[in-house]
Amino acid sequence: MPRQVLIDADGCPVVDLTLQIAKQFVVSVIILCDTAHQIEREGAQTLVFDKGADSVDFALVNRVKPGDVVVTQDYGLASMCLAKCARVLNQNGLEYTADNIDALMLRRYENKKLLRAGKHPKGSPKRTKEQDVRFADRRPVLIRTILAAKKAPA
């Protein structure tokens, strides 16, 4: 059974580019989003879930299989997908791995602690065209990830 690409599409700026790359390698794509972000694209299956805390994340985790490729910017979701032996990339082309996920999760935890204390850590700046170019330049990372997943035993 061919591997698939699952996109956590709520707030994902690289849906179209990911579809373009997956199409080159004849890999199926599932777009997961909530009712506030319904994203339909030709060549992909879209699954829409109720708007709610982590509803899309849990739906994605329940569908991911070893060797699948997941595109998400959510560290918690990335961690759960890594535990299920998926390959996970963020919107800038960074591959989440066992070597970097703990530090990312710690940073998320520290930011949440600051929020609970009434301090607001600096958020991410608005996405720029340069970031899109960087993701496109990192296309080989996604291609290698898809190819490695396709070659992995089921």
- pLDDT average, residue stretch 14-20: 89
Which H/E stretch holds residue 55?
helix 55-63
- How far apart are alpha carbons 95 and 71 in whole angstroms? 9
- How far apart are alpha carbons 6 and 85 in whole angstroms? 14
The predicted-structure confidence for 65-79, as pLDDT tens digits, reads as follows 998 989 998 989 999
Question: Sorting pLDDT into bands at 50, 70 and 90, what band is 117?
Answer: confident
- pLDDT average, residue stretch 46-52: 90
Phi first, then psi, for residue 34 (nearest 5°) are -100, 175
Question: Sorting pLDDT into bands at 50, 70 and 90, what band is 138?
Answer: low
Q: What sign does the dihedral 132-134-138-142 (CA atoms) show?
A: negative
What's the fold here for domain 4-97+129-151? Rossmann fold (3.40.50)
Compute the chain's Rg from CA coordinates: 15
Question: Sorting pLDDT into bands at 50, 70 and 90, what band is 64?
Answer: very high
pLDDT at 125 over 50: yes
- pLDDT average, residue stretch 130-136: 74
Phi first, then psi, for residue 66 (nearest 5°) are -55, 135
> What is the predicted pLDDT for the residue at 153?
59
- pLDDT average, residue stretch 95-103: 89
- Domain coordinates in residue numbering, the chain: 4-97+129-151
pLDDT at 37 over 50: yes
b/e map of 52-85 (b: 16 or more CB within 10 Å)?
eeeebbebbbeebeebbbbbbbbbebbbbbbebe
- How far apart are alpha carbons 24 and 27 in whole angstroms? 8
Q: Is the pTM of this model over 0.85?
A: no
Question: Sorting pLDDT into bands at 50, 70 and 90, what band is 2?
Answer: very low
> What is the predicted pLDDT for the residue at 118?
83
- pLDDT average, residue stretch 128-135: 75
